[in-house]
Amino acid sequence: MIISVVSGKGGAGKTTIATSLAYILKADYYDLDVDAPNGEYFLQPQDWQSRRVHQLQPVIDKDACTACGLCTHECRFHALYKILDTIYLTDTLCHSCNLCQEVCPEGAISYQQMSIGEVRTGLSERTAARAIIGDLTIGSTRGTALIQDIVRNLDTTTGHVIIDGPPGNSCAAVAAIKPAELVVLVVEPTPFGIHDMLQTMEIVEGMQKPVVVVANKSQDDAPLQAILEKRGYAISASIPLNSDYHRLLLDGEILSQASQHVHDVLQQAISTEVAI
Ligand code: SF4
Ligand code: SF4
């Protein structure tokens, strides 16, 4: 089963829960929080292998270009612009959609490969499974494309897969939710956390994914419980705000390995959805 662990709000504890589930299920762990992947801090993989991920980027032949401006007009992402008789590209805005090459009447646009990131795969002794880490090239805005590439190459042949998605509710988060057969929604039960969770919930409901809600760093579940009940959900696991847990995480421990209580509540939360 492919399980995506997501949260609307950053800092809700998504990686804490994702690495804990990887430990419980002895599952391959995919870190798709490609802007700031940190799951390896807990899983401590070794024997790394890596591959680079590329995307195409337009190159304009100045001799062939007549500066007609059609490509700048058609580019939906405003990645091309014209100053005097020269066309310029803002590569961080380009989505490699190929439209500019299609519309150019002079055949002046070709493509070159551009590295957008790296995918590293290591073996974690702690989970007895693989950790696959997506690293977005610094400065690149193509996180969604990198996530989509990793998702296309998901390997489910060795058992369950845990996806640690990016925070927020952007295209990148949608790309990490898309392959999921089960979504684990991690919520910090604060007004801010609940607000962002509701946005994520709309995305997940729109994609018709089964959901398990985990309240993390909880001091009072009642407001969250009331909101979830109105939508037909319940809190499946609640992990309290606990300074001991913070210390364990600072020491690089997988929380479900270090705490039997966390292990048991998370295992119970997913037991109705996942064969363990
Ligand atoms: S490939 Fe698409 S996004 Fe990139 S510059 Fe061309 S039209 Fe714009
Ligand atoms: S469409 Fe082609 S010819 Fe026209 S400005 Fe763009 S690159 Fe130049």
Amino acid at 245: Y
Distance CA 90, CA 188 (A): 37
Following DSSP, what letter does each residue of 110-128 receive, concatenated? Answer: EEEEEEEEEEEEEEETTTT
Dmax of the chain from CA atoms? Answer: 69
Nearest residue (by CA) to ligand 1, atom 8, is 75
Site to substitute for ligand 2 among 61, 63, 71, 101, most atoms within 8 A of C-beta: 71
Q: Which atom of ligand 1 is nearest to the CA of 93?
A: 3
Region for 208 from its dihedrals, namely left if φ exceeds 0, alpha if ψ lies in -120 to 50, beta otherwise: left
Asked if pLDDT for residue 275 goes beyond 80, the answer is no
Q: How confident is the model at residue 269 (pLDDT cuts 50, 70, 90)?
A: very high
Q: Is 106 in the pocket of ligand 2 (CB under 6 A)?
A: yes
Residue-range domains of the chain with CATH: 2-53+117-270 (3.40.50.300), 62-107 (3.30.70.20)
Q: Is 25 in the pocket of ligand 2 (CB under 6 A)?
A: no
> What is the Cα Rg of the chain in Å?
22
pLDDT given for residue 238 in this prediction: 96
Say how many Å lie between the CA of residue 169 and the centre of ligand 1: 24
Pocket of ligand 1 (CB under 6 A): 58, 75, 77, 79-80, 94-100
- The three-state secondary structure class of 218 is strand
- The three-state secondary structure class of 18 is helix
Site to substitute for ligand 2 among 78, 86, 109, 110, most atoms within 8 A of C-beta: 109
191-206 helix and 222-230 helix, angle to the nearest 10 degrees: 30
Among all bound ligands, the one having the nearest atom to the CA of 76 is 1
pLDDT given for residue 207 in this prediction: 96
Instruction: State percent of the chain over pLDDT 90.
Output: 91
Chain-centroid distance, C-alpha 5: 9
pLDDT given for residue 95 in this prediction: 86
Q: Which of 155, 156, 154, 203 is nearest to 183 (CA)?
A: 203
- The three-state secondary structure class of 244 is helix
Asked if pLDDT for residue 240 goes beyond 90, the answer is yes
Task: Name every residue whose Cβ is closer than 8 Å to that of residue 107 and which is 6 or more positions away in sequence.
Answer: 64
What average pLDDT does this structure show over 113-138? 96
Nearest residue (by CA) to ligand 2, atom 6, is 71
Q: Is 253 in the pocket of ligand 2 (CB under 6 A)?
A: no
